[in-house]
Structure 1
Amino acid sequence: MSIQTNRLGDPTVRAFVTAVNAGDKAAFEALLTPDATMSDDGSDRDIADWTDREIFSSNGHMDVESESDGGRTLLVSYRNDTWGEMRTKWRFTVDGDKVSRFETGQA
């Protein structure tokens, strides 16, 4: 059972998931602070390269199963054309109305 995106608790995280699922790279990039960082399975990655490869060029899609930490931690069934579907955890650091860091990895 997934949570409808428009019901996610944190408005910035909600906008992040909406941009990912719409394949809207411009909206996604507008949500990031200029110095935003991210990690995948505990290793820091280049955010532009990673998001292009893992989200935008491979039709990434997030089905949120649950949220915690006021909507800033998500358990997600994530799928893309490269890896298929997997359970992942996403943690967000939100600064104002922008994401300054996100961490993802297998759940």
Structure 2
Amino acid sequence: MTIQPAKLTDPAVRAFVTAVNAHDRDGFLALLAPGATMADDGSDRDLDEWIDREIFSSNGHLDVDNESQGGRALLANYRNDTWGEMRTRWSFTVEDDGRISRFETGQA
């Protein structure tokens, strides 16, 4: 059962998923804290390069199945034009100002 993005618990994570699915790069970047970092399958990646390749130039889309840790950990089906669909996990570090300072993803 997919959780609609508007029903996600954490406001920053809700906005992140909404921006990914709307292909809203500017909105996505506005959610990130200065110096934000990310990792894919346990390896740190260049954030700008990764989001362009894995999300915005390849029509990335998240269908969230489950959330935990107050909405800051997701289990989701992720698809893009490069890799097709895969089962993924996402975790988020959200700062006091509501911006995301780090996210990690990988196959679930």
Indicate whether the TM-score tops 0.5.
yes
Question: Is there any run of 5+ residues in structure 2 with no aligned partner, and where?
Answer: none
Q: How far has the Cα of 1:42 moved from its partner?
A: 0.2
Pair 1:39 & 2:39 matched: yes
**2:13 aligns to what?**
13
CA distance in 2, matches of 1:47, 1:98: 15
Question: Is there any run of 5+ residues in structure 1 with no aligned partner, and where?
Answer: none
Q: How far has the Cα of 1:34 moved from its partner?
A: 1.1
TM-score for the superposition, normalised by structure 1:
0.99
Deviant stretches of 4+, over 3 Å: none
Q: Give the number of aligned pairs.
A: 107
What per-residue deviation string (whole Å, max 9, x for no partner) do you get for residues 57-103 of structure 1? 00000000000000000001000000000000000000121000000
**2:102 aligns to what?**
101
- The percent identity for this pair of structures is 70
Root-mean-square deviation (CA, aligned residues, Å) is 0.4
CA distance in 1, matches of 2:57, 2:34: 22
TM-score for the superposition, normalised by structure 2:
0.98
